Amino acid sequence: MQPSADDLLGDLDPEQREIAECLRGPVSVLAGAGTGKTRTITHRIAHGVRTGAYAPDRVLAVTFTRKAAGELQARLRGLGAEGVRAQTFHGAALAQLGFFWPQFVGGSAPQVLPGKVSVVSQAVESLGLRLGAEGLRDAASEIEWRKVSMLSIDGYAERVHERPVPGGLTPEQLVDVHQAYSRITDERRQIDFEDVLVLLTGMLETEPRAALQVRERYRFFTVDEYQDVSPLQHALLRVWLGDRDDVCVVGDASQTIYSFAGASSSFLLRFGSEFPHARQFRLERNYRSVEPIVRASNRLMRDRPGALTLEAIRQEAVGPPAVEWFASEQEEAEAVASSIRASVASGTPPSEIAVLYRTNGQSARLEEALGRSGLGTRVHGAQRFFDRADVRQAVMLIRGEAKVADDRPLFQIVSDVLRSIGWTSRPPEGPAERDRWEALNALLSLVDEAPPGTGIREFSEELLARQRAHHEPTLESVTLSAIHAAKGLEWSLVHVVGLSEGLLPIGHAVDDEAIEEERRLCYVAFTRARDALRLSGAASGGRSARAPSRFIAEAGLAFAGE
């Protein structure tokens, strides 16, 4: 039996419930880290469906990653909101473009490039220029920035002198690369991911029949992480809406960490100007982190535009975040590994521990030091769980079992399948074997999460849904992650390493705007921790000496012994 509307909203706090009950018209939610924003928006949607205010198939919930969309979809399904679509901007746009292209252009839509770098490389070569791998990636990023900023190549040429130029190119040559890239993709009838949004927005603006079909299909919109919306995404949202205003946006200006890629918190902060009759709410009760972590995070963002002041609900008597300074990055990595080994020995599961850093290049020392300590690691953002060969094999076999009538308990069926490809009840010793065992064991752990009475057929379908949405299970290993990739995640214990001038803030952040972006990145790192936050930096990364990051003192923290 489905719970009543009161039961559905009964666990929300007063502010969350007020938002969940505000079902019509424009709604803006400024939601701080750890304040339950995903819980709030999913309950709001489910409440709208339960009360009949929303037809589920006319609701579109938009977020920024496939993983987040998959988790949003799973939560909505668990709340009884079947039929609601949760997608990324690109996912929704690609489906619509593929549907409308044959009707209004003819034939099939152009092929979408998996990435820009190979075509950028060909564009550079066609101009008789040379760029290294890093320069090619930088040029590809500039093409992405131009498109999400809705600039033509001529418009970009007027601003190129304000932009970072890859080493080895002049600003004029960078504009030539944009033109050559555009020429090559046009000749090959290929488009990139930004073109998907550009083409769909243009089609809906110029083809009233297409716009009418979209607006008939979707009536109610929710956009998560709205502080990261780009001008292009904002334009697409406005054309989806038309003259309607049933849209709820949720975000936190203090977590805007993609300005370099065209994101802007201005759309979130000026929502009330765009929709003068909007209801605006704030979520500032932090349920995630203990008070000292919240206090340090608040101090770091004090008096910044749009910053919320978090109220710590967890008032456990614990000390402030620990801060340590080391002579070298190697010494720092060894100390972090030793500290994590002690935390695991005292009962903290490895899956509840993360090490966060500013650049991906910092991970190698940490991975090696943790490996020498006998701890398994998972580099977040590397190979996806369901893309692993061993996991694909296991899922295929489980789906095969689902085609055969079998009355055995689900755990027995799945464990027998996993045993057939090498899983054992005891973990092996070697690191490679342990890594494979952890992956297969994570599949088995999903059996424990399944509702009572789940059969092999339902479990197989759930695996397939997770695979499509990249909704990954928890692995019993320490997570290593760049801070950008950690947004939206949380752990019991978080180590933030590399808190040194030149790393965080990064060396190329020289003006005030860039430093503020680095500050927000540091804030995101701090607020990933629930129970303990440990910070560290090193004086030497090789050739140059570094000073401690300014963010340590600005957060009101001090080094051990001070």
Residue-wise DSSP of 181-243: HHHHHHHTTEE-HHHHHHHHHHHHHH-HHHHHHHHHH--EEEESSGGG--HHHHHHHHHHHTT
CA distance 545 to 297: 27
Has 439 been labeled as part of a binding site? no
> Annotation-wise, does 51 bind a ligand?
no
Return left, alpha or beta for 404; rule: phi > 0 is left, psi -120 to 50 is alpha, else beta.
beta
Beta partners for residue 280, in sequence order: 28
Cα 457 from chain centre: 31
The verdict on whether residue 32 carries a ligand-binding annotation is yes
For residue 361 the two structure tokens come to 């290049």
Strand pairing of 27-31 and 279-283? parallel
Other Cβ atoms less than 10 A from the Cβ of 406: the count is 15
Q: Is 33 known as a binding-site position?
A: yes
Closest CA to 439 of 489, 466, 474: 474
Residue 35, marked binder: yes
116 is in an annotated binding site: no
For tokens 């991906």, the residue is 360
Establish whether 527 is an annotated binding residue: no
Structure tokens at 142: 């500039």
Give CA angle at 72 (71, 78), nearest 5°: 90
- The percent helix, strand, coil of the chain (3-state, each to 5) is 50, 15, 35
Sorted by sequence, the CB contacts under 8 Å of residue 378 that are 6+ apart come out as: 475, 477, 478, 479, 480
**Strand (E) or helix (H) holding 17:** helix 14-20
What kind and span of H or E run contains 356? strand 353-357
Q: Is residue 371 marked as binding? A: no
User: Residue ranges for the binding site for ATP?
Assistant: 31-38
Report the binding-site residues.
31-38
